[in-house]
Amino acid sequence: MINLNNIYYSSRMIQAMIFGFIFMVIFYFGYLLDLSSLQSSLSSQQQQETNLKQQLKIAIDKEIQEENDLANLPLLQLQLTQWQKTIITHAKLPELLNEILKIGGNNYLYFSQFNPSSKQKNGHYFTIPIKIIVVGNYHQLARFASEIANMPWIVAINNFSISNENKTDLLGNKLAKKANAENLLTAEFNFVVFYQAEMQNHAH
């Protein structure tokens, strides 16, 4: 004879086990979801911490650089002042040109050409190209170029050429003959002189 109570009890046990299993599955997946969310939050916080550290380092480096710039400012101002002293004014151009001629004379060079060109504006300054053709021996020409380069003003040697072909069309007949007779060289220099415009004083 079938005992209905046993069947009912067994059915209740199976249902309880099924519900328990379902609960465990739900709990497990809920745990996984919660753990995943926690890991994601932790990773985000770690990334934020890394970003904050990087931003802090950048801010500190910038502050150090600004402090260094401020510390170097007096030196930069001194260098700028010294550099500006090497830029002559337009009023002193004749003195500089005469000095170039004097250096050539002291080195026993013969001038064939000494032609300053028109001024050219270069930012806040002006430049004047000067074409010079001189005759002399190698050592005289080398000393001349060296002394020009070491003048207290900015005079740049743009380019130059030296030749033992003493052409009449460059030197003239008399100087060309002298150069050939004494085995001298012909040098062509292109100098550039820098100068600053003088401030105009306006009466009030």
Clarify whether residues 31 and 101 are in a common domain: no
Is the pLDDT at 142 greater than 60? The verdict is: yes
Clarify whether residues 106 and 120 are in a common domain: yes
Q: Is residue 202 part of a domain?
A: no
pLDDT of residue 31: 58
pLDDT digits (tens, 9 = 90+) for 50-89: 776 677 677 777 767 766 666 665 555 554 445 455 677 7
Residue ending a domain, choose from 58, 85, 112: 85
pLDDT digits (tens, 9 = 90+) for 146-188: 898 888 887 888 888 888 887 888 888 999 999 999 999 999 9
Residue ending a domain, choose from 85, 114, 134: 85
pLDDT digits (tens, 9 = 90+) for 100-128: 999 999 999 999 999 998 888 877 778 88
Clarify whether residues 41 and 66 are in a common domain: yes
2 or 131, which is more confident = 131
Clarify whether residues 31 and 109 are in a common domain: no
Q: Is residue 14 part of a domain?
A: yes
Q: Is residue 178 part of a domain?
A: yes
Tokens describing residue 68: 């260094």
Residue ending a domain, choose from 42, 67, 85: 85
Is the pLDDT at 15 greater than 50? The verdict is: yes
Clarify whether residues 1 and 67 are in a common domain: yes
Domain that holds residue 18: 1-85
Q: What is the DSSP string of 49-116?
A: HHHHHHHHHHHHHHHHHHHHHHHHHHHHHHHHHHHHHTSEEGGGHHHHHHHHHHHHHHTTPEEEEEEE
Q: Which range has the top average pLDDT, 30-39, 125-134, 146-155?
A: 125-134
Q: Is residue 139 part of a domain?
A: yes
Clarify whether residues 73 and 3 are in a common domain: yes
Q: How confident is the model at residue 35 (pLDDT cuts 50, 70, 90)?
A: low
Clarify whether residues 62 and 94 are in a common domain: no
pLDDT of residue 131: 94
User: For all residues of the chain together, what is the average pLDDT?
Assistant: 75
Q: Is residue 201 part of a domain?
A: no
Q: Are the CB atoms for 194 and 87 separated by under 8 Å? A: yes
Q: What is the largest CA-CA distance in the chain?
A: 152
Tokens describing residue 151: 């003048």
The domain tally of the chain equals: 2
Q: Is residue 187 part of a domain?
A: yes
